[in-house]
Amino acid sequence: MDNYSKLLDRIIRSSNLPLEEIEKRIEAKKAKLSGLISKEGAAQIVAAELGINFDQERVKISEIVQGMKRVNTIGKIVRMNPVRAYNKNGKEGKVASFLLADETSNIRTVFWDTNHIELIETGKLKEGSIIEISNGNIRNGELHLSSFGDVKESKEFLENVIETLVVQTKKLSEIKQGETIQTRAVIVQAFEPRFFEVNPETGKKFTEADKNNGLQPKKRALLSVVLDDGTETIRSTLFGDQINLLGLTNEQIFSLEEFQKVKPTILGEEKKFFGQVRNNEMFNSLDFVIQDVKDVNPQEMIKELEGKN
């Protein structure tokens, strides 16, 4: 379900009004505002006029939509990532992340507050823990919890949670910011790789402090490409090991001369791309951050075509 469909479903459940009546009110609201708002925005206004307040309502993970500011949900931690330290613009801190799941879906969840992170570092929250989250917010398809939010262990029991990362298959013309998707497309353009240095232990940008600590930087690469699936094109990015998934060796990646020789081999070949859709604020456009690349299986394509007939 897309964002609009999820909002409709929640309004129907909360108001007990028929679908036709709700859609009529939404279209009337859009017309009154001269089409200056989206269907999702009009649906939010209609919900407010009906006295429906989503702020205090607990939602299933599948009901979470991009842009929500006060998310209350419950889920099971099914995959915990190591706590990482960061240093950005002179500000140091820690960040923790994990995959939170219920019986409807799952979502990457990020903690920024030191008190919340301490619960993970001390083992009070771990893989298998069932937790309640209050006042989270959605950014780029992820559930983020700052010091304004709250988390606590729950006594509720969840079974049959969806542990495999949920990825939607979409055409590029259908994608929206914050979605994690897979798509079948062709690389139609590739730019020269760009290089940067990272801390060999944390993978973060190499700093003067790292140098003073006697560390040697590790060189990494970033490759920008343009994907085309026949419905739309999108500028996309691969980092580090993801570039190797295109069949390139490190020598071909880190030598611009070698890259130019091999570049024609990655153009025009159809593959499956998995990743996250993000907003490029500089160009006010969508970017696709590629996290995995797989060859297209001809047998799967045949089954897919047969299913459409």
> pLDDT tens for residues 236-252?
999 988 999 999 999 99
Q: What is the pLDDT of residue 187?
A: 95
Q: What is the pLDDT of residue 191?
A: 95
Provide the 3-class DSSP secondary structure of residue 45.
helix
Count of CB atoms situated within 10 Å of the CB of 184: 19
**CA-to-CA separations, 297 to 206, 243, 270, 271, 272, in angstroms, rounded:** 40, 20, 10, 9, 9
Cβ atoms of 151 and 133 closer than 8 Å: yes
Which residues of the chain register pLDDT less than 70? 1-3, 35-36, 54-56, 66-67, 299-309
Distance CA 144, CA 140 (A): 10
Domains of the chain with bracketed CATH: 1-52 (no CATH), 61-164 (2.40.50.140), 168-308 (2.40.50.140)
Strands 91-101 and 71-80: antiparallel
Provide the 3-class DSSP secondary structure of residue 176.
coil
**Six-digit token string for 135:** 């006042």
Q: What is the pLDDT of residue 303?
A: 61
Q: What is the pLDDT of residue 276?
A: 87
Cβ atoms of 226 and 189 closer than 8 Å: yes
Distance CA 36, CA 25 (A): 16
Q: What is the pLDDT of residue 35?
A: 63
Q: What is the pLDDT of residue 101?
A: 94
Q: What is the pLDDT of residue 300?
A: 66
Q: What is the pLDDT of residue 90?
A: 72
Q: What is the pLDDT of residue 69?
A: 80
DSSP 174: G
Distance CA 96, CA 145 (A): 10
Distance CA 84, CA 72 (A): 25
Q: What is the pLDDT of residue 301?
A: 59
Residue found by looking up tokens 């998934």 in the block: 245
Question: pTM higher than 0.75 for the full model?
Answer: no
DSSP 54: G
**CA-to-CA separations, 41 to 12, 29, 46, 142, in angstroms, rounded:** 16, 10, 9, 20
**Six-digit token string for 22:** 């709700």
